[in-house]
Amino acid sequence: MALDARPVAMLDRAVVFLGPPGSGKGTQAKEVAKAFGIPHLSTGDMLREHVSKGTPLGLKAKPIMERGDLVPDSLVLKMVAERIERPDCSHGFVFDGFPRTVTQAKYLGELVKQHGFKQPFVLHMVIGSSVLIRRLTGRRTCKVGGEIYNIYDRPPKVEGICDNDGGELIQRPDDREEVIRERLLAYEKRTAPLVQFYRRLGQLQDIDADKSVEEVKQRMFESLAGIGGVR
């Protein structure tokens, strides 16, 4: 069956995308959200929205994100807990960029239990760091719908304009090479330990993320079809 023709299945758990900056978490998380009709929750996007609105959380997060560090757990956890209270999360949700620390992972485990979901299923995007700089410096994102492009590998039909909605394509301020290096360090130090954490719990599946977008998508849906949470 063609992937796009699959019926909307039900998901009774959170799917988590875990992987370094530029590994394709956002690109693939959108596909899972679309296929299952559940929300795509990117903590990076939520924080950027707070920054652009100048909320108290945004004001605290801005300098931290600009230097490529992680926003403190206490701030992120409160934001996530509020978000999954909304009714659109009642059949599951896809996390992209959360959890990022062991504290966040333990909190998520408790949170899903409270909401009557099974424990999260983690898709671990495996990729070497050499390709990530090119992917991130080349990334452009639609200001309107959030569609993700790459000027080298996935360019829009018209430069600077989104194919879907004509929105302006922008470059993230943290996609400068010096900040990317800090983000990669933060990933290795604070987030990579989650691979072992979830592997030990039997909740993690490795995905080779150094393939084309279509190949990664195919592999990811095969993994999701193999878990008990999809019915």
Interface with ligand AP5 by CB under 6 A: which residues?
Answer: 19, 21-27, 42-44, 47, 64-65, 68-71, 76, 96-98, 100, 104, 135-136, 138-139, 148-150, 153-154, 174, 183, 211-213, 216
Least gap, CB of 127 to ligand AP5 (angstroms)? 9
What is the number of the residue whose Cβ is closest to ligand AP5? 44
Pure H helices in the chain:
25-36, 43-53, 56-66, 73-84, 102-114, 132-137, 177-186, 193-200, 213-225
Check if 48 is active-site: no
Q: In whole angstroms, how close is the CB of 3 to ligand AP5 at the nearest point?
A: 15
Q: What are phi and psi for residue 72, nearest 5 degrees?
A: -55, 145
Task: Tell me the chain's radius of gyration from C-alpha atoms.
Answer: 17
Residue that the structure tokens 């983690």 belong to: 122
Please tell me which residue in 30, 48, 135, 139 is annotated as part of the active site.
Answer: 139
CB of 180 to ligand AP5, least distance (A): 8
Instruction: Check 25, 48, 140, 217 and give the catalytic one.
Output: 25
Q: How many CA atoms are closer than 13 Å to the CA of 103, on its beta-carbon side?
A: 10
**Catalytic residue (choose from 118, 172, 176, 211):** 172
* d(C-alpha 48, C-alpha 97), whole Å: 13
State yes or no: is 86 an active-site residue: no
Closer CB to ligand AP5, 196 or 212, in the complex:
212
| Closer residue to ligand AP5 (CB): 55 or 212 | 212
Sheet strands side by side (includes 40-42): 40-42, 93-96, 13-18, 118-126, 204-208
Catalytic residue among 140, 183, 217, 219: 183
Nearer to ligand AP5 by Cβ, of 7 and 177: the residue is 177
> Is 134 strand, coil or helix?
helix
Nearer to ligand AP5, 45 or 91 (CB): 45
**Kind of pairing, strands 148-150 and 139-142?**
antiparallel
Q: Does residue 219 have an active-site annotation?
A: no
Active site residues: 25, 100, 139, 172, 183
